[in-house]
A = this chain, B = another copy of it.
Amino acid sequence: MTTTAAFATIAALLADPARAAMLTALLAGEALTAGELARVAGIGAPAASAHLARLVDGGLVAVQPQGRHRYHRLASAEVAATLEALGGLAEAVAPPPATGRRWPHGEAFRAARLCYDHLAGRLGVALQAGLAGRGWIVPVAGGWATSAAGEAGLAALGVDLAAARGTRRFACDCMDWSERRMHLAGGLGRELAACCLRRHWLVRLPGEREGDPLARRRLRLTPEGARCLGDTLGVLEQAA
């Protein structure tokens, strides 16, 4: 009873188009100011303020004041995972909009993207499979742990394992709606993504349109990234 009530409360926070647009924008993993989010949602500043207050109060969004700006981000990777799940269901249930591509951002989006703070899409799934296939990560209760070989290999790639361990969950699964498989989340997933971006193995694709909430989530594998990740983890990618 109380359970289904909490359930509905969370859903109500996601049910408003303006809030949904804000959350979708925050899925890119970057912290945005209230003004930016108001523009993304297409509403005025007062309305945005009220929406954000409710999201923060509901525990979905965290806020950190900085000077005269207030930066908002998703409260946790769990929130991101749930949003991804809902997006996948929306895609599966909604009448595919006539045109062949079922998601407006299509192929590039399915190939490689950010899921809040870690990698998703075909690339994310392939990375997870590569890590498990080489025995760099091994399943343990509640998630994954690194093997000795994995420690060495990941460190050689430049992944900050110390930072990865400083998180509540070191490595766990996150559902990938487009591939219907798991990809790696948790501290390790975050640091792996950070490493790939830092070394320019992956670059963010620029958004074509201003205000495109999904724009900053798309990633492109660079030739160097394909070589390095392919050599070490067997990730083959024919992404554009």
Q: What is A's interface to B at a CB cutoff of 8 Å?
A: 1-12, 14-17, 19-21, 24, 58-60, 75-76, 78-79, 81-83, 85-94, 97, 103-104, 129, 139, 142-143, 169, 172-173, 175, 179-182, 212-214
Contacts and interface: CB of A to CB of B under 8 A. Distances in A.
A78 B82 CA distance: 13
Interface centre among A90, A92, A179 (most CB of B within 10 A): A90
Contacts of A182: 173, 182
Given A82-B85, A142-B179, A180-B173, A17 B4 contact: yes
A146 B21 CA distance: 41
Q: Classify the secondary structure of A's interface with B.
A: helix
A11 B12 CA distance: 7
Given A4-B20, A89-B82, A169 B173 contact: no
A142 B180 contact: yes
Contact of A15 (B1, B12, B103, B180): B12
Contacts of A142: 179-181
